[in-house]
A and B are shown apart, each in its own frame.
Chain A
Amino acid sequence: MKPPTELEAPVAENPAEGIDQSAGDFTYDVKYDYDAGAGLTENTVRYISDVKKEEPWILEFRLKALQTFLDKPMPTHWATKDLNNIDFDKIRYYLSQGQAPKRTWDEVPDDIKKTFERLGIPEQERKFLAGVEAQFDSEAAYSNIKEIVAKEGVIFMGSTEALREHPEIFKKWFGKVIPTSDNKFSALNSAVFSGGSFIYVPPGVKVSQPLQAYFRINAENFGQFERTLIIVDEGAEVTYMEGCTAPKFSTATLHSAVVELVAMKNAKIQYITVQNWAANVYNLVTKRGLAHEGAEIKWIDCNIGSRLTMKYPGVVLKGEGARGEVISIALANDGQHQDTGAKMIHAANNTTSTVISKSISVGQGRSTYRGVVHIPKHLKGCKNNTECDALLINSNSRTDTYPAITVRGNDHAVQHEASVSKVSEEMIFYMQQRGLSEAQAMSLAVNGFVNDLVAQFPMEYSVELKRLIDLEMEGSVG
């Protein structure tokens, strides 16, 4: 193992300060024990499956998915042309230093531990989390859950481990919410997935503190394909948070996750993402939840950074009275395209859904809202409310909104409202009169714009998000 290639920065006192933009932009020269090499062939898939010592059904699933991936054309329907710049032959599909995650930070290899210390993860774990999993490139480096939570029967571990230890629960729901063939990138993930989280919450158990996963890309030209599966049984509740960073490389990095949530009768899942990918990351993620009778699934999705993000968390409202919600905040800076949104598929009577999306475009940044609301025939009493607001900071910023709403039947109420605005000059002027710089005033205005949404986050995350917004706004005005 080589020593770190750059000077170590002190670990931040405040966890929020630990996860800022510049703090994510460093890399260690790690020696990988397992490396599938560049490019994707059947051998790559076999290599990954072999290293992970998987059961035959998983290899079979992967190989079938590989074929689906190869057969499926790139999405051209409405997708941005930038997708064509992804070179699948240059990407490295699996890198790890061994697949068994450690239970204490002391056991985690030094270089990886330092990465997470710089990002403030162990600090946050001590303070307010029920459990943490930290993934470094392809595998979890650390995974732990508080004893008191584990005692209640809650399972929280990496997908690699869970496939070995709980195949019966895993197999039942795996690929059921998002089929392999859903889109080209869900097929890619299904072929080469590694890492990600597995959570099972037994009936009636309400996990009071959030479980957290942290995804870190360290290597250049790397593709991270985590697979997350969360099953919350009848009447149970959980909040799961994920954070993501990657250093800046001159070459493109691909992050293509598949996240499946299953909320059984009257269960509640809250899934929070705060991502701050570097500007070279293609972030192409498929996320969907299945809400049974009376269940509630809420996605809180904050997208900062990346070169291109295409992500539309969805809820399939399968049981009567189910509720789905997506709260989405996107900040697109120069050279970035945040193509985000939500899908609400109503499939039972009296289901309700809410989408609130706020985007901010800075400089030449481009933000896009894309949404689907679908109410098929012969349902009764479904409701959807969608609100999209875009804030444009500079005269050459850009925003697009493309919702698609299909309603059948006469017993539903569906409403979509969107607006575009800019930060008012008077507001900036007044703040400057009170001694703030223009950038500070702009940060404050942007924070005000997203404030009502951020207020719904757990405290630590709202602090982090505000700080990320401040950093993004620095030097971006003019």
Chain B
Amino acid sequence: MSTSVSASPFTGLDAERFSMHLAQRSYLPAWWTAAKQEAWNEFTATPMPARNHENWRFANLGGLALDGFTVPEEHASLVPHLPNFPHAKEIIFSNRQVVGRTSLSRELAKQGVIFAPLDEALRDHPDLVRRYFQQHPVNLGSEKFIALNIAFTASGTFLYVPKGVKVDLPFVVQHTITGDKQSIFPHTIVALEDEAEATLVEFFVSGDKLAHLASGVNDLHAGQNAKLTYVGAQNWSHETLSFQANSLTAQRDARITCLNIHLGGRQARHESHSRLQGPGAHCDMLALTVAKENQEFDQRTLQSHQAPHTTSDLLYKNALLDKAKTIFSGLIVVDPDAQQTDAYQTNRNLLLSDEAESNSLPGLEIQANDVKCSHGATSGRVPEEQLFYLTSRGIDPKKAHELIVFGFFEEVLNKLENEHLHAVLSDLIQSKFKK
């Protein structure tokens, strides 16, 4: 559990704050403290992204400045409302503190399932956490911000499902930020042992119009023949600067489905790296983005096929309104011995305004010859016929656009195969149009 320590309010992300942060966690394992120290050193040694950095092509570098953000004091604030749908267990964080939590059923606990705040798991299961923590770091340009996350991580979640255990209902985590210029650094570790099955859904919310900094990192592992579903639904305030890095590893015959929904933030960068490490491994990488006003969503992906007979499918869909901007830069890399790879990558952009801008950089690097790999990108407007069809039936053009966007997104939401979750996420997306 995180501890409440009253200290003078932080005013920035400097060495003094970092020392204080470490001091408050002296009870945690030494390896963890060392990892944090190393990350802090890396953060200070790494320059901010520069114009000539290919991994930041088209991005607004001016918007990345971290000046003025603070690490919040760890006090409980309003308990946010969690969407209502059947789920296994939940943990709710407000700023850096756990403010709501249901306990694990006796049955799941007996089977060895662990679902706990990261600080608690570090105390109770340090070796287990260490086995999965940052084993496969994401390396797509945001290294500086990932280092910052590790240095300051306090709100994190650890989900461990032992061999052969299958959990039907999703685990749910909610992160919220309150207070001006506050920052949070969630770190989620999901470890599914061989044959295990589980779903984790994370909601990221900040309801007010204040400026926030959010930098999250996920380590998601699926053992042999395991089935992992991860959903991250981000709906930060419109002034939030957000970074998120997802690392996904799939062993032999494992299946991972990873869906990220991007709604909030002034500038939101999302990196996702999947590694198919054993034959038969499969990963679905999905994303839906509604970009409005002056929002910028920057998505970088990498599908690494490291073993033969692996498959991956990426589908990122963006709907752009107003002066919003999206960047999708994806890469499929097939290693020389990853024969019989089957990999796809698709980015579709629906431009709903004259001033919106979509950038698409779908890439392939193929070093094996017996493979099926393809990528595609489209950018276009709402089909006239569809719009005509709806408006001629008396539907208001604005509503018609919304319906068409929903039709466009439906293909992705259907892949979740969970109607409750589908409904919750649809509502969330709809709320963005009402704002």
Contact = CB atoms under 8 A, between A and B. Distances in A.
- Measured as residues with beta carbon below 8 angstroms from the partner, the interface class of chain A is 35 or more
Nearest to A386: B377
Contact of A407 (B54, B336, B358, B365): B358
Interface residues of B, number: 39
Given A395-B336, A401-B363, A419 B354 contact: no
B418 interface: no
A326 B413 CA distance: 38
A396 B58 CA distance: 33
A412 interface: yes
A405 B361 contact: yes
B361 A402 contact: yes
Contacts of A410: 351-354, 356, 381-382
Contacts of B370: 395, 422
A51 interface: no
Nearest to B321: A410
B356 to A, nearest CB: 7
A375 to B, nearest CB: 8
A407 B58 CA distance: 12
5 contacts: A395-B336, A400-B364, A400-B365, A404-B359, A407-B360
A409 B351 contact: yes
A419 B369 contact: no
B378 interface: yes
Contacts of A378: 354
A416 B360 contact: yes
B58 A395 contact: no
Nearest to B376: A417
A76 B339 contact: no
Interface of B: 52, 54, 57-58, 336, 339, 349, 351-382
Contacts of B355: 377, 408-409
A310 to B, nearest CB: 16
A409 B321 CA distance: 10
Nearest to A414: B379
A421 B371 CA distance: 6
Contacts of B353: 409-410
B224 to A, nearest CB: 27
A401 B57 CA distance: 16
A405 B360 contact: yes
Contacts of A397: 367, 369
Nearest to A378: B354
Interface in A405-436: 405-422
Contacts of A395: 336, 339, 368-370
A377 B380 contact: no
A398 interface: yes
A117 B117 CA distance: 80
A420 B352 contact: no
B208 to A, nearest CB: 31
A415 B376 contact: yes
A377 B354 contact: yes
Interface string A358-396: 000000000000000000011000000000001011111
A219 B359 CA distance: 45
Nearest to B57: A404
Contacts of B379: 405, 407, 412-414
A78 interface: yes
A420 B366 contact: yes
Of the candidates A397, A402, A407, the one having the most CB atoms from chain B within 10 angstroms of its own CB is: A407
B362 A403 contact: yes
A160 B317 CA distance: 53
A418 B381 contact: no
A414 B376 CA distance: 10
B351 to A, nearest CB: 4
Contacts of A390: 364, 366
A402 B332 CA distance: 11
Nearest to A392: B369
Contacts of B54: 77-78
A400 B363 contact: yes
B58 A406 contact: yes
B371 A422 contact: yes
A402 B329 CA distance: 9
